[in-house]
């Protein structure tokens, strides 16, 4: 394996099985999972409804490619198109979020006949050559070479940067002014791609309404809005099914990308776009692994469970309790700069006590201490991975939230 393939923990763990919100390692140790395979185990580990759907589909046929009619793919596409909010929507399935964002950029640049793309500072959109080229996070950008010209704008991080001292309205106005200034120095770009909540960036987000304000400026020049919902989609933020809905004054985006949680561990990504955009390509294309029958069966069962059990509502209720519990637990701790988030997408940013300087060593130490206490977390952030990322399955119970918060509080206090 390559040297750049990172593993968590000084003594890495092998996860062998899971159930509900818990996983077990190869030594038999049980952990409460607050990261879900990077926000991918959305409903629960070994969810019986998904397991049954996968088993039954595997007994019929696993794969045939998009060259043949595929009933599970059509059924899931119809459901996602209705849920997307995009009028006259078309859906194309991929095998990952990276590939979904690549496809969105292909559509946008072909439709607009421009290879210039606007992206947000501190953003992350995948690991492919094109996706790295629009990623505004130095820690995840191994090359400056890119097939697109990328222009970065302000707004993804509320509490850092030159506009952090402003109130929300003034912050939005300043970011819009910055966007207009950028557009005044270039030919009209193809699109703006933005995460409603920046995932790898440490679960940061702008004030509600920022992207609606951006959209008004973009639409005047025909520039498309791509919402990267790979991490925020499917109700994880609690208040909304899609992250873009916090900025819905101007209607849905032109293109939405999704992945991760919809498959509950199966490899599903995809793009939703208006038909005129999706159909703009004038060359042949297929997908060998996107939309394969077994992943679509999993996605259908998982989405059904999510909706029937109102896991978005659970994310809002339990996530609200968890974030308040964590804010209370960290009040007064000198190394905690901010507890932020929405629903079950919560970030804790750590700094060196008495300063505003990021502290990635502290984040790594808390990750280790939490693991010793039986809790698995993630980390990220644009400042050298100094933020803890909390994103458990959306079926998390109040008791499990309290248990995880107690372990995390002890891990944070162990630093001091």
pLDDT at residue number 196: 97
pLDDT at residue number 352: 95
Query: What global pTM score does this model have?
Result: 0.96
pLDDT at residue number 355: 94
pLDDT at residue number 250: 75
pLDDT at residue number 99: 98
pLDDT over 90 at 405, yes or no:
yes
pLDDT tier for residue 394 given thresholds of 50, 70 and 90: very high
pLDDT at residue number 298: 98
Residue 195 near residue 131 (C-beta atoms within 8 A): no
pLDDT over 90 at 140, yes or no:
no
pLDDT over 90 at 145, yes or no:
no
pLDDT tier for residue 56 given thresholds of 50, 70 and 90: very high
Q: What is the average pLDDT score of the chain? A: 96
Across the range 207-217, mean pLDDT stands at 96
pLDDT tier for residue 384 given thresholds of 50, 70 and 90: confident
pLDDT at residue number 382: 81
pLDDT at residue number 138: 86
Across the range 303-307, mean pLDDT stands at 98
pLDDT digits (tens, 9 = 90+) for 348-358: 999 999 999 99
Residue 41: CB partners within 8 Å, gap ≥ 6?
A: 18, 33, 261, 264, 265, 393
Specify whether the backbone of 343 is left (phi greater than 0), alpha (psi in -120 to 50) or beta. Answer: left
pLDDT digits (tens, 9 = 90+) for 184-204: 999 999 999 999 999 999 999
pLDDT at residue number 121: 96
pLDDT tier for residue 48 given thresholds of 50, 70 and 90: very high
pLDDT at residue number 249: 81
Percentage of the chain modeled with pLDDT above 70: 100
Percentage of the chain modeled with pLDDT above 90: 94
pLDDT over 80 at 318, yes or no:
yes
pLDDT tier for residue 416 given thresholds of 50, 70 and 90: confident
Burial class of residue 390 in the structure, from the number of CB atoms within 10 Å of its CB (0-12 exposed, 13-18 middle, 19+ buried): buried
DSSP 66-132: TTS--HHHHHHHHHHHHHH--TTEEEEEESSHHHHHHHHHHHHHHHHT--EEEEETT----SSHHHH
Across the range 326-349, mean pLDDT stands at 96
Across the range 120-136, mean pLDDT stands at 94
Beta strands in 281-372 (DSSP E): 336-342, 345-350
134 or 248: which carries more pLDDT confidence?
134
Q: Tell me how far apart the alpha carbons of residues 181 and 310 are, in angstroms, rounded to a whole number.
A: 43
Which H or E run includes 17? strand 15-19
pLDDT tier for residue 144 given thresholds of 50, 70 and 90: confident
The CATH class, in words, for 52-308 is alpha beta
Nearest to 233 by CA among 104, 310, 123, 345: 345
CATH of region 15-33+310-413, choose from 3.90.1150.10, 3.30.56.10, 3.60.15.10, 3.40.50.1000: 3.90.1150.10
pLDDT at residue number 188: 93
Q: Tell me how far apart the alpha carbons of residues 121 and 106 are, in angstroms, rounded to a whole number.
A: 21
**Considering only 2-11, 63-72, 135-144, 325-334, which range has the smallest mean pLDDT?**
135-144
Domain ranges, ordered by start, for the chain: 15-33+310-413, 52-308
pLDDT at residue number 152: 96
pLDDT over 80 at 15, yes or no:
yes
pLDDT tier for residue 151 given thresholds of 50, 70 and 90: very high
Enter the tokens of residue 352: 């060196």
């Amino acid at each position: 394996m390559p040297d750049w393939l990172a593993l968590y923990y000084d003594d890495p763990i092998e996860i062998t099985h899971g159930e509900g919100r818990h996983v077990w390692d190869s030594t038999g140790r049980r952990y409460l999972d607050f990261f879900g395979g990077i926000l991918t185990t959305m409903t629960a580990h070994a969810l019986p409804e998904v397991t049954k759907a996968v088993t039954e589909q595997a007994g019929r046929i696993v794969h045939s490619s998009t060259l043949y009619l595929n009933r599970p793919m059509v059924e899931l596409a119809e459901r996602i198109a209705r849920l997307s909010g995009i009028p006259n929507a078309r859906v194309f399935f991929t095998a990952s979020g990276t590939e979904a964002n690549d496809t969105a950029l292909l559509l946008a640049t072909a439709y607009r006949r421009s290879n210039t793309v606007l992206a947000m500072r501190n953003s992350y959109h995948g690991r492919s050559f094109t996706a790295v080229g629009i990623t505004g996070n130095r820690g995840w950008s191994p090359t400056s070479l890119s097939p697109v010209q990328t222009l970065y704008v302000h707004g993804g991080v509320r509490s850092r940067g030159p506009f952090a001292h402003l109130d929300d309205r003034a912050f939005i106005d300043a970011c819009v002014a910055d966007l207009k200034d950028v557009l005044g120095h270039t030919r009209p770009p193809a699109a703006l791609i933005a995460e409603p909540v920046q995932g790898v960036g440490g679960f940061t987000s702008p004030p509600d309404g920022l992207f609606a304000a951006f959209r008004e400026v973009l639409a005047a020049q025909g520039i498309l809005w791509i919402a990267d919902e790979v991490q925020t989609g499917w109700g994880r933020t609690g208040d909304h099914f899609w992250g873009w809905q916090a900025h819905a004054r101007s209607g849905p985006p032109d293109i939405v990308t999704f992945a991760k949680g919809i498959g509950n561990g199966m490899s599903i990504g995809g793009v939703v776009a208006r038909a005129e955009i999706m159909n703009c390509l004038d060359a042949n294309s297929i997908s060998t692994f996107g939309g394969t029958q077994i992943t679509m069966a999993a996605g259908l069962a998982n989405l059904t469970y999510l909706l029937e059990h109102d896991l978005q509502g659970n994310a809002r209720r339990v996530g609200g309790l968890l974030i308040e519990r964590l804010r209370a637990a960290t009040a007064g701790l000198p190394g905690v700069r901010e507890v932020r988030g929405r629903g079950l997408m919560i970030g804790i940013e750590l700094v060196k006590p008495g300063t505003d300087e990021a502290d990635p060593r502290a984040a790594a130490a808390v990750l280790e201490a939490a693991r010793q206490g039986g809790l698995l977390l993630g980390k990220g952030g644009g400042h050298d991975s100094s933020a803890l990322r909390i994103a458990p399955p959306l079926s998390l119970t109040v008791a499990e939230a309290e248990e995880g918060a107690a372990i995390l509080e002890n891990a944070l206090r162990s630093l001091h």
